[in-house]
Every structure is written in structure tokens, then in C-alpha cells.
Structure 1
Amino acid sequence: MIEFRNVSKFYRETGVRALRSVSAKIQQGEFVFLVGATGAGKTTLIKLLLREETADRGHVLVEGVDLAKIHRRRIPQLRKGIGVVFQDFRLLPERTVFENVAFAMQVVGQRRRVIRHIVPQVLELTGLLEKAECMPHQLSGGEQQRVSMARALVNNPPLLIADEPTGNLDPVSSVEIMNLLERINRHGTTVIVATHAKELVDQMQKRVLTLEKGLLAGDTMHGGYYSV
């Protein structure tokens, strides 16, 4: 599904070599952790997948399509197939839980009757159905992150990217979010999680891609957090 083929990225304005000849394949339905210290290159890999950046060398392919070669007009279509969950939730504070999730369907032009049918299903999956009419400020941090995940999932993307999804959460909420990501993955969604949470990575026993100073320092299967 996803392939990084000898990918390098250099930011000339800062002199930072973010990625150095990174090669990896992620198959449909995999659950993959992306780990490494701050500045290791995790965010750059995510930006390449979202076509916010392009590689200076090498190729980033999704379903066989080289992202550097797609026309700018096709980028929104690419992003419709990718759900993204951020550390800071990014909810609309003046809208209810239901409205926050529905908004993701509205912006892609989905019909109201479809929205009324699908949103409750996604809220049930994420354990939020009883919170549908709550405002974001009435929710705990873990609940807000689940709203963010519901919003990312509501258009049924084949790929979900979670960028430090537990960074602002307590340990109990962090475990709940990881368990939810695993449940989502079991439904067939490919999940990529960028994180510093070593304990959670060790517990989950999924594939781990480790970046160090822009290099792929480790690629382990069910072996816990890779340390270099």
C-alpha cells in the first residue's frame, strides 16, 4: 500500500537533513509505530504521505502512485483517503461532538441523510454515542481525543495516521486510545502511529520503524521499542 523508496529530504532554509535514504513498505491492514527522538524525521515522513512536502530524492508511493507526480488538483482527493489524528485534538469548540464528527463529512459534500446514518455508528465505535450532544469543553482529554479519532474515521479512510495521539493524555487514557486504534485496525484500516510513548509501544507488540537523525535505524516485527 505504502512504499518509501530511498527517500531523502533536505530543508535548505534551516540546513536540516530530515531524511536520509529511507526505504520501507507498509502493507494494507498493518499497524505500524513510527518512533524516534524529536528531529529524527517522523513528522517529515507524515508530511510526505499527506503531500504537504515532496522528497528531494527517492519516491513515496501510495497504492503504486508516486505522490511527487500527482497534480496539485488531486492532492485533496489523496487526503480524503487518509484520516489524521493530532496530539492537540483540533476540535471546533463551538460545536457538539456530533457536529464535530459530522463536519468532516460535510466538507466532502456528503448528504445529510448519510451523515445522520454514519455519524452515530462511528460514535458508537469510539465509545462516544452517549456524549453526542456534549461540547468539547465538557469532555476529558481522552474523550476529546476519541472525538478527533471519530472525525478522522467517519469518511472510512483506508489509512489512519496518528501523530503523538497520547501526548497530552494521562496513562489510563493513553491505553484506552491505543486499544481503540487496535480495534480500528482490526476492521481493516492501516494504522501508522508516531509516538514517543515507549511503554505503550512495548505493550502493543506491533511493527516498529525507528528513525534516528533521518536514518531508518530499525524495523522490528512484534519486538517492542527499538533502541539504538
Structure 2
Amino acid sequence: MLSPSAALPTMRVLSLRGIGVTRDGHPALDGVNAQVQAGQLLLVVGPNGSGKSTLLSVAAGLLPADSGVVEMGPHTRIALLPQSTALAPHLPLTVTDVVAMGTWARLGAWRPSRRADRDAVTEAIAAVELTDLARRPIGTLSGGQRQRALLAQVLVQRADLVLLDEPMSGLDARSRAIIAASVTRLTDAGTAVIAVTHDASEFTSIDDVLELHDGRVRN
């Protein structure tokens, strides 16, 4: 599941140079530079409204930059865990169903899964300590358990670059510890991770910190 990336550990996965984004006539990002290499964890910190989520959206390719350059390998696989993911409480989906959605990019939504993909789903669920709840409807889980299930969905995507937008916000101590350990396993396996957070102490093995204020990097 967490096999090493095809990229070498010293390979730059993403480089942002002079990134500028304007929203409603105001600069959300202004001349931001950032980079992350394979196997590294980059934290993006700063107060609300500083541009953290905007930067993650640019990195994910969901928001075009008005200025600057985004450099990324042509075959770089990206997985995103957004700050808020709506899951209707009455959806007839189990934890396993939700995690298995992470394999759809490789298989297609309606193609039968392969043994290797089913094994990857099982391993991802175990990694976030939800094995006992694998058959439970996702809507019956606590907030921390749902977030761990969504992180497991990210894990099975086998991405080169994982983007996390405040993945521990409002969670219990156990869920925060499990998510932090999962992030460490990702970087140990060669995956580049960019995580937005208000509290850098939630993570371990941090390689770099980018602090934003009013859309600019604070030196």
C-alpha cells in the first residue's frame, strides 16, 4: 500500500514560484515560493485568511494561479484531503466502500476491483485503526473516525503528492495521533506531503514550514 514512490528521495515533486492569486479584487496569494521533495513533509501555517487553503488549491490544480509558475512532473499523482468533506449521514456506504473509492482513479468507478486493490483497502483501513469498523456505515462513525476513513481513502491512491487541509481540526487525541503516524509512514515511503495546520506540534518529522500572512510568506 505504502510502497516507495517511483521518484528518488531527492527528487523535487512540486515547485511553486512567484505564485499570485487574486480573489474579489484582493490578493489571496502574493509572490509565494514553495517546494517539496519526495519523502518530505511541508507544513503550511498561518492565521485564518492568510491564503493557506488557496495555496493548497493551486498545488492540487483546482485553482489556476494568476501569476507565477507551478512546476510538477507530467505523471505526478496527487491525492487531496480537503478541510471539509460532506458525507450524507444516510448514504448506504460502509467504511470499506468509502476507502475503496480511492482506487477508482486506477480502476474506473464501475470496474471490478482486483485482489491487490482489495488488499490495499484492507491495509489502509488497518493503518488508520478502523478494522473493527470496516463494515460499519460511514454515517454512524464519530468525526474522528470519519476523518481517518477519508485519510485511508487517500492512502490507497498511492499518490506521489498528498495534500492535507487541516486534517486534525477538531479531532480527538487518538485520531490526531493516528493521522500523524500515517503521515510519517507516507513520507517514509517516499511520498511528498503538504499539510495545512494551525498547530505544527501535531506533526512529527517536519522537513520545512511555510508561514503565510496576508497571502505572503513570512520570513
| In structure 2, C-alpha distance between the alignment counterparts of 1:194 and 1:6, rounded to whole Å | 19
Q: Corresponding residue for 2:102?
A: 104
Gapped regions of structure 2 (runs ≥ 5): 1-12
1:92-141 deviation line (CA, Å, top 9, x unaligned)? 64200111111232354264224323211222222222221011233232
2:18 is the counterpart of 1:6: yes
1:169-204 deviation line (CA, Å, top 9, x unaligned)? 134432332222122221221111101125425x66
- Counterparts of residues 111-126 of structure 1 (less than 5 Å): 111-114=112-115, 115-126=117-128
Out of 115, 127, 130, the residue aligned to residue 128 of structure 1 is: 130
* Structure 1 position 206, deviation (Å): 4.1
Q: Corresponding residue for 1:226?
A: none
Q: Secondary structure at the match of 1:196?
A: coil
Gapped regions of structure 1 (runs ≥ 5): 66-76, 219-228
TM-score by length of 1: 0.79
1:50-103 deviation line (CA, Å, top 9, x unaligned)? 22211111101112x5xxxxxxxxxxx86xx11111333444642001111112
| In structure 2, C-alpha distance between the alignment counterparts of 1:117 and 1:205, rounded to whole Å | 30
One-letter amino acid of the counterpart of residue 41, structure 1? G
Q: Are the aligned partners of 1:89 and 1:144 in contact in 2 as well (CA < 8 Å)?
A: no
Please report the RMSD computed on the Cα atoms of aligned residues, expressed in angstroms.
Answer: 2.2
Q: Corresponding residue for 2:38?
A: 28
| In structure 2, C-alpha distance between the alignment counterparts of 1:111 and 1:136, rounded to whole Å | 22
| In structure 2, C-alpha distance between the alignment counterparts of 1:46 and 1:139, rounded to whole Å | 27
Q: 1:19 to 1:168 in 2, by over 3 A?
A: same
One-letter amino acid of the counterpart of residue 158, structure 1? D
One-letter amino acid of the counterpart of residue 22, structure 2? F
**Greater relative contact order, per chain length (Cα 8 Å cut-off, separation 6+):** 2
Q: 1:100 to 1:107 in 2, by over 3 A?
A: same
Q: Corresponding residue for 2:155?
A: 153
Out of 30, 36, 46, the residue aligned to residue 56 of structure 2 is: 46
Q: 1:104 to 1:176 in 2, by over 3 A?
A: closer
Q: Are the aligned partners of 1:91 and 1:148 in contact in 2 as well (CA < 8 Å)?
A: no
Identity of aligned residues (%): 30
Of stretches 155-164 and 116-125 in structure 1, the one that deviates more from structure 2 is: 116-125
| In structure 1, C-alpha distance between the alignment counterparts of 2:133 and 2:84, rounded to whole Å | 19
Q: Corresponding residue for 2:7?
A: none
Q: Corresponding residue for 1:195?
A: 197
In the comparison of the two structures, how many residue pairs are matched? Answer: 201
TM-score by length of 2: 0.82
| In structure 1, C-alpha distance between the alignment counterparts of 2:85 and 2:70, rounded to whole Å | 27
| In structure 1, C-alpha distance between the alignment counterparts of 2:55 and 2:212, rounded to whole Å | 10
Q: Are the aligned partners of 2:46 and 2:213 in contact in 1 as well (CA < 8 Å)?
A: yes
In proportion to residue count, which structure has more helix?
A: 1
Of stretches 179-188 and 36-45 in structure 1, the one that deviates more from structure 2 is: 179-188
2:79 is the counterpart of 1:83: yes
One-letter amino acid of the counterpart of residue 53, structure 1? L
* Structure 1 position 216, deviation (Å): 1.0
